[in-house]
Structure 1
Amino acid sequence: MSKTSLLRALRGEELRDKYPQIIEHCKISSKISLGIEELQKAIAESATKLLMAIRTPHIKV
């Protein structure tokens, strides 16, 4: 792992500690559309889990 990658990973951990509602970190580039599908999938999965939690509060998602 390069120094840059390590620093980004550590920064991500700091952000998750400060903002526990962060679910996932997706690397994207709108310039070349890199990671857009991964981001869309992560958003859809998170929205589905949230909806399920609202509809069935007695079941842990």
Structure 2
Amino acid sequence: MRISDVAREIKSAESSIRNWEKGRTTPKMEVWQVFRLRDLYQCTEAELVQAVKESMLEEIQP
């Protein structure tokens, strides 16, 4: 799935999603957006949280 597709589905800016993926920023979403991401990526909410944590750690560690 492309970033542009995800952005459209959750009504968010593509740049925001890129920043989340690179660990630059922490996602701030409404509940419906979390559920939509869960459905798009076919994962659980816990897996989404874990992915965010891992992205943030990767950005911090050299």
TM-score band (shorter)?
Answer: 0.3 to 0.5
Q: TM-score, normalised by structure 1?
A: 0.38
Structure with larger Rg:
1
Q: Higher relative contact order by CA 8 Å / sep ≥ 6: 1 or 2?
A: 2
Normalized per residue, the structure richer in helix is: 2
TM-score by length of 2: 0.38
